[in-house]
Each structure stands twice: as structure tokens, then as C-alpha cells.
Chain A
């Protein structure tokens, strides 16, 4: 009793099937967003520079060379030199190494703790949910930067402590997002519908719920990442982060302040690096938010071969 094929609309029945994975479509969508794409490449560049810093930087980021102090930008020193005769460009690349790894670790640790808390809270519910969420609420009542200052003040100024301080305040953010998404996903009809067809509760958690919360989590990761870069720079600016002579955008900026009259180029580098980095991350975040949600994919993303089929063509 199979229905005779009805080819209505633009589809060419002999065309190869447009069987494309979600990842492909998400990438396609992302690439249409030019700001996000630009941000992605800038981040890639910054990331490569940071990783390869020991091999690509022509100067030593910490060695003093007082004979070359406060030189203006030139061919040999693209962004000039600082008060101790160190190449500014080199220090920015090395500073990026610090900033990006701090941000990466902050995201990593807060995800590692926050996501399981949110999942358990949302899925188990009841008293456990209550207890966990009150705890998270307590965390959230601290102004993040003040808490970080307090923790670093307590544990001592050091990058590891900066990571701990910044990570702790992000745990509740991830926990709440994951809990909220889990709760709403749990109520979704398609979760019940999937179970009515024999899906196990566990499988529903991992294939249904987790997939649905990937998008908000990824977006939050970009926000936390950008925030961590700014926070690390702020703490270092205040002298609570990386210690001299290690390079750091925030601390280099605070040092550059003192020579602003003689060497104004010193402040441009760190500011520009920080801004470029944060802006790129935000663009990438926006792009990801749009591209990770299949509902926002435009119909033509799938190629013209599968138009929305009108109801009336069926038997």
C-alpha cells in the first residue's frame, strides 16, 4: 500500500539526498555571520601567538636592557620598548599567554564543578535541589571582583589563586543555567514522547537534555571567558595577579601609566590586546548562539532540495 511518490515543489527526485549532519549546518550558519567569523580568526591568531610565543618572539619578555628603555615604535620594536628596555610587542604576546590560560582554566574549573551540580539539582529535584541552589545563591551574593580580591588577599597574589578566585564565582552561574535548562527540558513534551517510545530516563538525560543545554552553556562559556580576561587584567592592574617581572596586560598597563607623558605608546598595546580579545570572544559567542539552535537555521541552509511540503499533496 505504499504511496506513489509525489514530487511537488522544487525538489529534484534524482538529486543526491541532502543528508547533512547538524554540525555541518551549524558551521554553515556560523560562517554566514561575518563578525563572528572575524572574531574567530582573531582569536585563533591570538591563541597561536600565545602558544607559540617562546618560538616566535624575537626578544626575551623579561630580560632588562636599560640602554634601550622607552624607545618609540620602530622596525626593530614595532610597539616600542618599556622603561626596562623590554620589547612591548613581545610582552603583549607573552601577556596573552597568561591571560588566555587564566581564562581557559577559569572556564574549565567552573564548568567541571558547576555543570554536574546543575544537572543533579535539576534532575533529582526536591531537597537536594533546594540545598544546592541555596548554596549557589550564597555564592552569587558576593560581588565577583570583591570576592576575588578577598580570596587573593587571603591566599596571596599569585595566578593560581586568581584562577581559584575567578572560578569560584562562576560555578553558580553554570550551575543555574544547567539546572534551568534541565528543568525546562524535563518538562518538554518530546522528552515524555521519547520515553513513551521506550527511551530510558538516562538516555533521555544524555541525548535529549544535554544536547538542549549545549547551546546556552557554550554561550555562557564565551561570556565567562571574556569576563575572566578582564578580571585577570583588573586584578593584575591592582597588583593582585601576576607578579613582576612576568608579563601581563593588566600589570603592564598599570606600569605604563607612570610613563604616559614620555611614552604614550606603552598604554596602547595592552588596552588594544585586551579589547580585541574580549570583542572577538563576544562576536564568536553571538555567532555560536545563533548557529547552535537548529530552529534559527534558515530553510535554505539545507539546500533547496527539501522545501516545506504543502499538506495537500498526501493521500
Chain B
């Protein structure tokens, strides 16, 4: 859906489905997600909570617990290698060394009973086979790079001795320690204060640019995504409903849901006339997906076709596509302010 213009994608996902078999029935958490991530680029995935962003990430990482989870896809390729069918042993070798993930809550994602030095060097020894001494030196260098003052003195410290922002820096250091080609950041700044959030975004941007790491930045916050991403995929009810280059998508939103999201997000260049407009209603149940557009019950722009057939993917512009029948061009100027 996001076409790779010439370049080989570093990560490519085709028709990813993830279901959870629960007592209430089958939860279709991800229903046919496809995208390409180009080397060194930042892809944003936005959507309300519950739209399947984390499950998409965990499915790619092969961390969905089965049962109850069940992951199927046409293909998932990492650096040209098919990783869909690999076993746990090989998946483990890939995780951390070629694809790494940072989670939302820095308070909980570090092991409270191990020193951060230990947690930093573990991956280095495991994946790169470094000696204790070399791993320690590299750990100090990494902490220094992510902006932890007095890095050498802090190797022996425990996570509780760090503040939330500092912990997230440590997590980023760990995630990037083996120089992976893909970093997935799942709501990595959501739990942090706004100022620290900006610092962390800045840090990730700088480091991944230096290292040439491609990033999947998952967030429910369009503002954050606008600041860091090259392209964006908007998720709703387990599906990508619109995707495209970040500027193009913000200027020419082509899905009722994207338009709604933009209308409910405050912007720096807001004039006083514009009022924030929340999206009414609730996301649909994922238990029995409707064949029609899942956003239909909440959509203000629905047309006749929306009630008759499921929306097909159509191109709006170069590498910008949507899954929406409605013509939203009249609103483009409106959202541009």
C-alpha cells in the first residue's frame, strides 16, 4: 500500500491477521495489515487505543502468545529474509539484533532486580558475543550517547534510581545496542511529560539517523507523529485505513477517520476560528468484524456507497492511498486552516 519507490524495503508486511481466541469469541485484533518500511525511514502508525497497533508490532516481533493468539500473513520479510515461518530459536536471534522494540512504560520495562549495566550488556554479550570488558565499555558509550550523565558511575545502579525519562533513555540504549535495522517504538513517549517527550523524540530521531535505523513509531498522538515520521499509516479497528507521506496525509486527509483525528488534534498553527471536534461514538467490537467500513457508524462524511460495499483501496496521490468511498477534497482546505 505504501509503494516502495525503487528502494528495497527493510521490513515488509503483507496481509497480517492476528486473532485472539477468547471465551467471548474470536477477537480480530489485526485484520489484514500491509506496509513497507524503507531503510532509514520513520513510519508512524496512529490510531485510537485498541486499534491494534501494539498487536501489529508484537506480531511482527513474534511475541504474540499462542494460544490464545494466532498470527497469519501472506509474508513478513526483514531485510529480504522471510521471518514469517521461522522458529523461536531463530526469532530470538533476530530480536534485539536486527529488530528491536521499546515499550510504553519505562517504569515497567526494565527488570527491577538487575542493574542497568547488566541489562545493557546482556544483549551485547548474547548477540555480538562481546567479552565482559568490551560489553561494559560499549554499555558506557551507549549510555553516554543517549545522554545519561556520568554513565560509567551508573552501570551499577538499579532502574528505580532513574527517573522515567532516564529509564526510557536506557531502554533506547538497550534497543539500539546491537545496531538493529528496525526499531519499533510502541507509545515510547506516551507515559512521559511533554518536555521529556520532546527530548526523547529528538534523541530517537538523532540516533536512528546516525545509525541508519528504520523506525516504526507507534502513537495515538498525531502531533508526535507529525514531528518525527516520514510517512504515516492510520489504523482503525485492526486495519490500515489510510497511509501516505506525512505532509501529504496531513494536507490531504482522505479518510473520514483521518479527518476526524485531525479535527480533534490541537495544532500549533490553529487560528482562533478552528474548534476541536471530538469523534463521536466508540470503536466497533472486534468480535465479529462488519464487512462494510468499520468507521461507518461514526462517520460524518459517509456516502451511499459506504452502506453498500466494503471500501476498496484507492490511490489519492503518489504513494498516498485510502480505504474510503467518500470524496473529502472539499475539506482539504478547511483542515489546512
Q: Residues on A close to B: CB < 8 A?
A: 1-3, 5-8, 11, 13, 15, 17-22, 188-190, 192-201, 207-208, 211-212, 294-295, 297, 299, 302, 305-306, 308-315
A190's contact among B92, B96, B108, by CB below 8 Å, is which?
Answer: B108
A309 with B126: in contact, given A190-B109, A196-B103, A198-B93 (CB under 8 Å)? no
| Least CB distance, A294 to chain B, in whole angstroms | 5
Please state if A314 and B113 are interface contacts (CB–CB under 8 Å): no
Looking at B18-26, B140-148, B266-274, the stretch in contact with chain A turns out to be: B140-148
| Least CB distance, A216 to chain B, in whole angstroms | 12
- The answer to whether the Cβ of B315 comes within 8 Å of any Cβ in the partner chain is no
B63's contact among A195, A212, A314, by CB below 8 Å, is which?
Answer: A195
Interface centre among A20, A193, A207, A306 (most CB of B within 10 A): A193
A212 with B150: in contact, given A196-B95, A196-B103 (CB under 8 Å)? no
Within the assembled complex, what's the spacing in Å between the Cα atoms of A190 and B193? 21
Contact with A along B102-120 (1 / 0, CB 8 A): 0101001111111101010
Find chain A residues with CB under 8 A from B95 CB.
195-198
- The answer to whether the Cβ of B66 comes within 8 Å of any Cβ in the partner chain is no
Find chain B residues with CB under 8 A from A195 CB.
63, 92, 95
Please state if B147 and A315 are interface contacts (CB–CB under 8 Å): yes
Please state if B92 and A314 are interface contacts (CB–CB under 8 Å): no
Within the assembled complex, what's the spacing in Å between the Cα atoms of A192 and B184? 14
Within the assembled complex, what's the spacing in Å between the Cα atoms of A311 and B106? 14
Please state if A3 and B114 are interface contacts (CB–CB under 8 Å): no
Contact with A along B97-141 (1 / 0, CB 8 A): 100110101001111111101010011001100000000000001
B149's contact among A15, A189, A297, A309, by CB below 8 Å, is which?
Answer: A309
Within the assembled complex, what's the spacing in Å between the Cα atoms of A192 and B96? 12
Find chain A residues with CB under 8 A from B160 CB.
294-295
Looking at B3-11, B162-170, B232-240, B321-329, the stretch in contact with chain A turns out to be: B162-170
Within the assembled complex, what's the spacing in Å between the Cα atoms of A3 and B147? 7
A18 with B122: in contact, given A198-B97, A294-B112 (CB under 8 Å)? no
Please state if A1 and B199 are interface contacts (CB–CB under 8 Å): no
B103's contact among A3, A193, A208, A310, by CB below 8 Å, is which?
Answer: A193
B126's contact among A5, A15, A17, A198, by CB below 8 Å, is which?
Answer: A198
Within the assembled complex, what's the spacing in Å between the Cα atoms of A201 and B199? 33
Within the assembled complex, what's the spacing in Å between the Cα atoms of A312 and B119? 24
Please state if A197 and B100 are interface contacts (CB–CB under 8 Å): yes
Contact with A along B175-208 (1 / 0, CB 8 A): 1000000000000000001011001000100100
A302 with B150: in contact, given A190-B109, A193-B109 (CB under 8 Å)? no
| Least CB distance, B81 to chain A, in whole angstroms | 16
| Least CB distance, B138 to chain A, in whole angstroms | 13
| Least CB distance, A189 to chain B, in whole angstroms | 4
| Least CB distance, A118 to chain B, in whole angstroms | 19
Please state if A188 and B108 are interface contacts (CB–CB under 8 Å): yes
Please state if A198 and B96 are interface contacts (CB–CB under 8 Å): yes
A196 with B100: in contact, given A2-B145, A8-B149, A294-B113 (CB under 8 Å)? yes
| Least CB distance, A23 to chain B, in whole angstroms | 12
Please state if A311 and B199 are interface contacts (CB–CB under 8 Å): yes
Within the assembled complex, what's the spacing in Å between the Cα atoms of A297 and B100? 31
- Using CB atoms, name the residue of chain B closest to A294: B158
Within the assembled complex, what's the spacing in Å between the Cα atoms of A315 and B199? 8
Please state if A311 and B165 are interface contacts (CB–CB under 8 Å): yes
Please state if B109 and A308 are interface contacts (CB–CB under 8 Å): no
Please state if B166 and A309 are interface contacts (CB–CB under 8 Å): yes
Find chain B residues with CB under 8 A from A198 CB.
92-97, 123, 126-127
Please state if A306 and B114 are interface contacts (CB–CB under 8 Å): no
Please state if B92 and A305 are interface contacts (CB–CB under 8 Å): no
Find chain B residues with CB under 8 A from A3 CB.
144-145, 147
- The answer to whether the Cβ of B33 comes within 8 Å of any Cβ in the partner chain is no
A7's contact among B63, B145, B150, by CB below 8 Å, is which?
Answer: B150
Within the assembled complex, what's the spacing in Å between the Cα atoms of A302 and B162? 13
Please state if B195 and A311 are interface contacts (CB–CB under 8 Å): yes
A302 with B174: in contact, given A190-B111, A196-B101, A311-B195 (CB under 8 Å)? no
- Using CB atoms, name the residue of chain B closest to A305: B153
Please state if A308 and B162 are interface contacts (CB–CB under 8 Å): yes
Find chain A residues with CB under 8 A from B141 CB.
2
A302 with B157: in contact, given A193-B171, A197-B96 (CB under 8 Å)? yes
- Using CB atoms, name the residue of chain B closest to A292: B113
| Least CB distance, A111 to chain B, in whole angstroms | 20
Find chain A residues with CB under 8 A from B105 CB.
189
| Least CB distance, A66 to chain B, in whole angstroms | 60
| Least CB distance, A310 to chain B, in whole angstroms | 8
- The answer to whether the Cβ of B161 comes within 8 Å of any Cβ in the partner chain is yes
A19 with B150: in contact, given A197-B95, A199-B92, A309-B163 (CB under 8 Å)? no
- The answer to whether the Cβ of B222 comes within 8 Å of any Cβ in the partner chain is no
Please state if B147 and A302 are interface contacts (CB–CB under 8 Å): no
Within the assembled complex, what's the spacing in Å between the Cα atoms of A91 and B166? 60
| Least CB distance, A292 to chain B, in whole angstroms | 9
A190 with B195: in contact, given A197-B174, A299-B161 (CB under 8 Å)? no
- The 4 lowest CB-CB distance pairs between A and B, nearest first, are A198-B96, A314-B147, A197-B96, A189-B108
- The answer to whether the Cβ of B288 comes within 8 Å of any Cβ in the partner chain is no
Interface centre among A17, A211, A295 (most CB of B within 10 A): A17
Within the assembled complex, what's the spacing in Å between the Cα atoms of A140 and B228? 57
| Least CB distance, A113 to chain B, in whole angstroms | 26
| Least CB distance, A106 to chain B, in whole angstroms | 28
Within the assembled complex, what's the spacing in Å between the Cα atoms of A189 and B112? 11
Find chain A residues with CB under 8 A from B175 CB.
197
A to B CB contacts below 8 Å, 30 in the list: A3-B145, A3-B147, A5-B144, A13-B150, A17-B155, A18-B153, A189-B109, A190-B108, A190-B111, A193-B101, A193-B109, A193-B110, A195-B63, A196-B63, A197-B95, A197-B174, A198-B93, A198-B127, A207-B114, A294-B158, A295-B158, A302-B157, A306-B150, A306-B154, A309-B148, A309-B149, A309-B150, A311-B195, A311-B196, A312-B195
